[in-house]
Structure 1
């Protein structure tokens, strides 16, 4: 819970501090500008609210690790990504995106704080405890915070504890630990294909490198 709230607050705070010109810069998500990424965060906040307001009685079918599916790299244009780009452009003014994220994001944070961690929620035809769902989202927030600052070196990155927990989650998803020579941030960036491993990293990865990137869906 604390890691979810800290990671989410830090990400929203970073967006709130952006200048208008920053919204037109590339993000760490291939093909997305910062404005597109922020629009995606608005949708994420909606998803959190919807999920926490969707209690179910069934037994959990997933946990914070198995919530994530490793999927094939999408072939061609992803219509969902294209929709985000069109929606982001419709905002026209960066302050509108900031306002919408602050409004929905604060509500998502309050809902998370009030959630019964042991209660069960439904999303994507899955059942999880609310606690596991929120733990899974620490990885979502941390990856997108790294995406946000990829071309914005003066903007603060994600909290260290969230990066460390996200490394643990990604290694659990991979079923294998990354080399200890990798920083937690590098595990996330290389592991999810946000940047390519350099020669030394590729050597250290060994057989694991052939399974990368881990595209999470």
Structure 2
């Protein structure tokens, strides 16, 4: 819970500190500007709120690792992705995006702090404990924090403990460890296809290279 809150707070703080011109810069998500990514974070916050108030009676079918599916790389044709771009444009002023994220995001953060970790919740036609659900979202927040600052070299990076946790979770998803020479940030960027490995890095990856990138959905 604490790691969820710290990662989410750091990401929301990074958004709050953006300059207006930063919203028109590209993000680390292919085809999305920073404003599109921030709009996506608003949707994510709504998902957290909805999930935490959707109790389930059946046994868990997923955990923090199996919550994630490996999907095809986005092509830009997905209707929801296209909707987010249109919705982000409709905000017109960056401060409106900041306001909405702070409003909904703060509520999601409070809901996470109050949640019973053992409570079973339903989302995406699956069941998992709220503890596992929130743990899975540490990876979401950390990756999107990296996406947010991809072209903003002066912006604050995600919390170190969030990077460590997210790397460990991604390694469990991959079923293999990244080379110890890789920083946590590079393991996440390369592992999810956000950065192409150099020839030397590709050699270090060995058999794991064939599994990459891991596009999570």
What is the TM-score with the length of structure 2 in the denominator? 0.98
What SS does the aligned partner of 2:127 have?
Answer: strand
| Offset, 1:173 | 0.2
| Offset, 1:211 | 1.1
Residues 15-26 of structure 1 aligned to structure 2 (within 5 Å): 15-26=15-26
Q: How far apart are the structure 2 equivalents of 1:85 and 1:101?
A: 16
**Residues 109 and 76 (structure 1 numbering): CA distance in 2 closer, same or farther, change over 3 Å?**
closer
| Offset, 1:128 | 0.5
| Offset, 1:206 | 1.1
What SS does the aligned partner of 2:121 have?
Answer: strand
| Offset, 1:76 | 5.7
Q: How far apart are the structure 1 equivalents of 2:123 and 2:168?
A: 23
The answer as to whether partners of 2:31 and 2:76 remain within 8 angstroms in 1 is no
Find the counterpart in structure 1 of residue 93 from structure 2.
Answer: 93
| Offset, 1:80 | 1.6
| Offset, 1:75 | 4.7
Find the counterpart in structure 2 of residue 126 from structure 1.
Answer: 126
Number of residue-to-residue matches in the alignment? 217
What SS does the aligned partner of 1:70 have?
Answer: coil
Give per-residue Cα distances to partners, 1:102-133, cap 9 Å, x unaligned.
00000000000000000000000110000000
**Residues 121 and 79 (structure 1 numbering): CA distance in 2 closer, same or farther, change over 3 Å?**
same
The answer as to whether partners of 2:59 and 2:127 remain within 8 angstroms in 1 is yes
Find the counterpart in structure 1 of residue 47 from structure 2.
Answer: 47
Gaps of 5+ in 1: none
Are residues 1:148 and 2:162 paired? no
Q: How far apart are the structure 2 equivalents of 1:46 and 1:154?
A: 29
Q: How far apart are the structure 1 equivalents of 2:93 and 2:71?
A: 34
| Offset, 1:55 | 0.6
Gaps of 5+ in 2: none
Give per-residue Cα distances to partners, 1:160-186, cap 9 Å, x unaligned.
000000000000000110111111110
The answer as to whether partners of 2:193 and 2:213 remain within 8 angstroms in 1 is yes
RMSD: 0.8
Give per-residue Cα distances to partners, 1:168-211, cap 9 Å, x unaligned.
00000001101111111101100000010011100000111111
Find the counterpart in structure 1 of residue 7 from structure 2.
Answer: 7
Find the counterpart in structure 1 of residue 207 from structure 2.
Answer: 207
Q: How far apart are the structure 1 equivalents of 2:78 and 2:120?
A: 31
